[in-house]
Amino acid sequence: MYDFLQQIWPTLWPTLAAIGVILAFVPVLGLYMTFIERKLAAYVQDRLGPNRVGPFGLFQAIADAIKLFLKEQVIPDHVFKLLYFIAPTLSLMTAMFALVVMPFGPVPTDYTSGFRYIVAPGIDIGIMMMIAISSLSAYGIILGGWASNNKYSLYGAIRSCAQFISYEIPLGLSIIGIVVAAGSLNIEQIVAAQSGDFWNWNIFWQPLALIVFFTSALAETNRLPFDLPECEQELVGGFHTEYGGIKFVLFFLAEYTHVVTVSFLTALLFFGGWHFPGLSGPVDAGLGGMLLRTFVLVAKVSMVVAFIMLLRWALPRFRFDQLMGLAWKGLIPLGLVNLVCVAVVFTFDLPKHLLSFTAVFLFVASLISARNLQSTINMPRSAGRPKAGSILSEVTV
């Protein structure tokens, strides 16, 4: 047994170290993402934000965590207790397990020695595995709504199920073009295909795929303007109405983990990952080059996270019919158009940067959507316009 452990230890310890980094980093990141989001909200709304606990309010997240851990664990009598406790745990487990194939730094080609910024490197179906695992997080929300034995929670869970199923389709369509270009489902290989100049980044020749991917991924994370599963104005608190204390924290942490996952995927698939012009050749040798590439990736991910947070305070919430219409009438057709264009370009061996003109389809779709929305707003009430005061009369983007 000792000889076996000694034999596998060079490949085992990097995996254990990567798991330890994720388990230690994700909870702390979830706490301080809350703090950062509150600060960004304060900046947008021209106020101070949290500033009482610690210098500049930096310890506010720790104080909130202590408060939530010390809160009484109230369990309503009418819930199905087994599923009631399983639901938040399942949500967090699936969200964190998806990070197994996610490189959070430059991954060396030699997987047998030294620390690597990934738990399971070299997975040939890495991107497919991540999407499959992430989709399981819907079960945690559905179980939470069902186990609460509350009609408002159940409504929120049902809407969540419809939303997840709908937006997984354009999410997959947007990734297929990237996979075809890289010739691999391995995330490290997809990043390697974007090395070199800026023009090799997928954002410059698949802008339509980026818009479809980012919009769909945002809907998968239940963030505004797609937070219908927990729409507090309509459904009290949505699927987690009956949850409080540490149980609510697990749902909350799962949501922020999804935000981090989406941000990493956006940076890795479309913005070159840890690549940057000038970071090649001799600069890669040694610890300094690895740390510099790690900084590049973290900077890109931070910008995506900040953009997601700012969207919360810039856009109003969709109505549910608009939410579903955007997926089935907007994103899925655009994803199919992008896929057909990618197939034509690579079949006839055309320059791949011709795909940048697919952004024209997005522009045309935006004009059509704006015209349809304007005609709905200006429709006379006698022609079927919803009466004021009804849910459907809300004017949103």
Q: Distance (Å, rounded) from C-alpha 175 to C-alpha 165?
A: 16
Burial grade of 46 (CB within 10 A; 0-12, 13-18, 19 or more): exposed
Express each pLDDT in 218-240 by its tens digit. 888 878 788 776 665 565 667 77
pLDDT band at 377 (very low <50, low <70, confident <90, very high): low
Q: What single letter denotes the amino acid at residue 146?
A: W
Helices (H), the chain: 2-44, 60-70, 81-97, 126-135, 137-147, 151-182, 187-192, 202-205, 207-220, 232-235, 246-270, 286-312, 320-325, 332-347, 359-377
Joined together, the tokens standing for residue 299 give: 């900077």
pLDDT band at 214 (very low <50, low <70, confident <90, very high): very high
Express each pLDDT in 13-24 by its tens digit. 777 888 888 888
User: Whole-number mean pLDDT of the chain?
Assistant: 81
Express each pLDDT in 149-204 by its tens digit. 888 888 888 888 888 888 989 999 999 989 988 888 888 888 888 887 888 888 88
Express each pLDDT in 266-280 by its tens digit. 999 999 888 888 776
Q: Distance (Å, rounded) from C-alpha 332 to C-alpha 172?
A: 10
CB distance 169 to 213 below 8 Å = no
Average pLDDT of the residues in 376-397: 48
Q: pLDDT at position 38, please?
A: 87
Q: Distance (Å, rounded) from C-alpha 50 to C-alpha 304?
A: 23
| CB hemisphere CA count around 256 (13 angstroms) | 20
CB distance 151 to 189 below 8 Å = no
pLDDT band at 392 (very low <50, low <70, confident <90, very high): very low
pLDDT band at 285 (very low <50, low <70, confident <90, very high): low
Q: pLDDT at position 45, please?
A: 87
DSSP sequence for 321-364: HHHHHIIIIIIHHHHHHHHHHHHHHHHTT--GGGGGGGHHHHHH
Kindly report the pTM of this predicted structure. Answer: 0.85
Check whether the bond before 229 is cis (ω within 30° of 0).
no
Q: pLDDT at position 352, please?
A: 79
Q: pLDDT at position 394, please?
A: 41
User: Does residue 46 register a pLDDT over 80?
Assistant: yes
